[in-house]
Amino acid sequence: MKWLCAIFGYKQYMMNMTVIEKILASHSGRDHVVPGEIVDVVIDARVARDFGGANVVNHMEENQLSIDDTTKTFFTFDCNPTGSDQKYAANQHKCRMFAQREGIKVYDIDKGIGTHLLMEEGLCYPGSTAVSTDSHANILGAVGAFGQGMGDKDIAVAWHKGSTWFKVPSSVKIILEGTLDAQVTAKDIVLNLLDNFGASALLGNAIEMEGEAVEKLTLDQRITIASMATEMGAIIILFRPNMEVIRYCESRTRNKVEPVLADEDAVYNEVYHLDVAKFTCRISLPGKPHDTSGLPKEKVWIDSAFIGSCTNGRIEDMRAAAAVLKGRGVAEGVVLKIVPATDRVWNRCMEEGLLKVFKESGALVSNAGCAGCAAGQVGQNGPGEITVSTGNRNFPGKQGQGEVYLASPSVVAASAVAGYITTAEAIPVVPVKREFRGPAGDPSKQKKQAASASASIRPHEIEGRAWYIPMDNIDTDMIYHNRHLSITDTGEMGQFTFGNLAGYEDFAKKVKPGDIVVTGKNFGSGSSRQQAVDCFISLGVQCVVAESFGAIYERNAINAAFPIVTSDHITTLKFEEGDVIRLNFETGAIQNVTKMISLESAPFSDVQMEIYQNNGLF
């Protein structure tokens, strides 16, 4: 080998590299790398999101790590840009405070999806490297850059060292030949690739996309395809930048851009030639992005539709949706949610009149961000709900608890108008009304009703351990915080009781069925939430005794057949922890059994007693 180097030159000998190998070699101080090697890669853009960002901060602080270069270190808040979730809001605040202290740039909730911002802001460009707590950071392959999603420990190390280790992957090349049908979109291209290769055939490989069909793809189309490399099991899909991409990156970086190209003698695991003329419009069936099919021949009725995400939130996607929606309305009973990828895209939508089209069609338009992924601001669905989405993932629970089909923006928009999955060309002139069957009899409910009808008379007198909480004005947010209001199963509510009441956050863990809460004035003031009553029922608490109750709370408790007793002189009973209390709803007698002290209070009214014995208002 040495004589070959001497004759042909070391540099020439060290050629035959793929795009990924060249980028990793240039960022690790190496002339040459081969698949399987582990190299320490310098990272040009080091990003943490609101999803995982707080953990990055924790690692930095707990390990007393400094930041290598604040000009290359960023936060992007894109998962929940409305701050509508308490935990996201807390994480964002933690990251903001750290960023201000350390001098780190924050792309806050008004900016959009972080990976898109890296391209828009000129932070990533052909041949550059980036890591993020976003598993779709490999979307940067759309501009010929190396991007990877990593865990919070990895990101903290990259922030501190400026580099992180990476195993050089093998490469495959996919050459797209032929001419696309006019109806086949970029989303259809990647769904056809998933149909060809599945979720694991190219596992761990870097994919290079070439061919006549690829050269014609716009940047937005490349982003759509690159964003689903993760769903194919690939490390990244790298596109050879065309002149449009180069000009875009130069306008964003304000510098000359030189694309990284593979050597002519680069070594690939496989080279695949695919005829795009055979590609068809496709959808992904619920649960698996790679489980694709042609559009269904039978009507698949939908309840909601979503256009957006890092896969299809670009201006071309918005235009495609608007072209279908213009002059049409969303079908009755269907909710259409539209979320542009970045604020720049959002503003373009406004300038071009697309927002007006969306609103007139009946769609909900939100500020830029990820939306449905990671329990974001909009896009989630509930149990039994059928959604058609432009997202990249439809794993169970990823976008809610219903079923999610994946499709292109035009198909999603057309489906929202028709009420079932279809194409723009097949939208019926006369709307087809969805037929609903009446709810069938539920045997379990019938049993419950029968059991309730035959139940014995509920006791007029009860006895239990007293939980004495000598506080006034305990409001419903202290009893049951609003961050848990989405819970509808009473059985799940108990664990959050008093979770926002200082000093009693562990109440739900310590209370026992049969206990009785004794407290002060104006208990249950504030919100009208029924959960502030039902949480006690969930825990098996027998009754709440207070000097007075909030008016709405009092009605909610009575209607739920949850006993509440009012007395102006509770302090005279001298309650201490563990005392036993006895109550008689018919006479109004209250007794501290432990200390043998009694007092009289108002008995249940006729209405309260009737509802109590009926086990509820219904």
Q: List pLDDT tens digits, range 311-334.
A: 999 999 999 999 999 999 999 999
Res. 487 pLDDT band, cuts 50 70 90: confident
278: pLDDT confidence band, cut at 50, 70 and 90?
very high
Of residues 497 and 396, which shows the higher confidence score? 497
The whole-number pLDDT of residue 83 equals 65
In terms of pLDDT, which residue wins out, 417 or 152? 417
- Would you say the C-alpha torsion 388, 390, 391, 395 has a positive or negative sign? positive
**Mean pLDDT along residues 153-170:** 94
Q: Which residue has tokens 């009289």?
A: 600
Q: Is the pLDDT of residue 50 over 90?
A: no
Percentage above 90 pLDDT, the chain: 77
- Residue 3 pLDDT: 35
Residue 330's pLDDT is 97
Asked whether residue 465 carries a pLDDT value surpassing 50, the answer given is: yes
The DSSP letter of residue 564 is E
Q: Is 450 exposed, middle or buried (0-12, 13-18, 19+ CB in 10 A)?
A: exposed
Output the pLDDT for position 456.
60
pLDDT band at 88 (very low <50, low <70, confident <90, very high): confident
Strands 129-132 and 146-149: parallel
Joined tokens for residue 277: 């003329």
* Percent of the chain scoring above 70 in pLDDT: 93
The answer to whether residue 397 scores a pLDDT higher than 90 is no
- Given a cut of 50, whether residue 458 has pLDDT beyond it is yes
Cα 327 from chain centre: 31
CB under 8 Å to 602, separation ≥6 — which residues?
Answer: 566, 567, 588
Amino acid symbol at 364 = L
Backbone angles phi, psi at 73, to 5 degrees: -120, 130
Mean pLDDT of 263-275: 96
Res. 477: pLDDT tops 50: yes
395 falls in which pLDDT band (50, 70, 90)?
A: confident
Output phi, psi for 183, to 5 deg. Answer: -85, -10
Q: Looking at residue 376, what is its pLDDT?
A: 63
Q: What's the whole-number mean pLDDT along residues 366-382? A: 77
- pTM for the complete prediction? 0.78
105-132 mean pLDDT? 96
- Summarised one tens digit per residue, pLDDT across range 223-249 is 999 999 989 989 999 999 999 999 999
Choose between 79 and 9: higher pLDDT: 79
Q: How far apart are CA 507 and CA 478, in angstroms?
A: 12
Confidence of residue 1 (pLDDT cuts 50, 70, 90): very low
Average pLDDT for 417-439: 86
Q: What is the pLDDT of residue 377?
A: 64
pLDDT band at 554 (very low <50, low <70, confident <90, very high): very high
pLDDT given for residue 80 in this prediction: 77
Asked if residues 369 and 110 have their Cβ atoms less than 8 Å apart, the reply is no
Distances (CA, A) of 135 to 147, 150, 151, 394, 573: 9, 7, 9, 15, 60
Using the predicted structure, report yes or no on whether residue 35 has a pLDDT greater than 90: yes
Would you state the pLDDT for residue 6? 37
Q: pLDDT value at position 613?
A: 94
State both tokens at 367. 């500020």
**pLDDT at residue 436 is higher than 80:** no
What pLDDT is attached to residue 4?
38
Cα 504 from Cα 253, distance rounded (Å): 54
* Position 5 pLDDT exceeds 50: no
Two tokens, residue 58: 């924790």
Residue 343 has pLDDT above 90, yes or no: yes
* pLDDT for 442 beyond 80: no
**Which pLDDT score, from 0 to 100, does residue 438 have?**
52
Kindly list the structural domains of the chain, giving each domain's residue range(s) and its CATH number in brackets, ordered by start. 36-167 (3.30.499.10), 171-278 (3.40.1060.10), 291-426 (3.30.499.10), 458-613 (3.20.19.10)
Q: What is the pLDDT of residue 488?
A: 84
pLDDT of residue 11: 42
Q: What is the pLDDT of residues 587-609, one digit of tens each?
A: 999 999 999 999 999 999 999 99
Q: Give CA–CA dist 152/129, Å, rounded.
A: 17
Mean pLDDT confidence for 21-49: 96
pLDDT at 446: 44
Alpha-carbon gap, residue 97 to 89, rounded angstroms:
12
Mean per-residue pLDDT over the chain, rounded: 90
| Bridge-based pairing state of the strands 516-519 and 461-469 | parallel
| Distance between CA atoms of residues 105 and 563, nearest Å | 55
User: How much is the average pLDDT of 91-108?
Assistant: 95
**pLDDT band at 449; cut points 50, 70, 90:** very low
Q: What is the 3-state secondary structure (H, E, C) of 543-559?
A: EEEECCECHHHHHHHHH
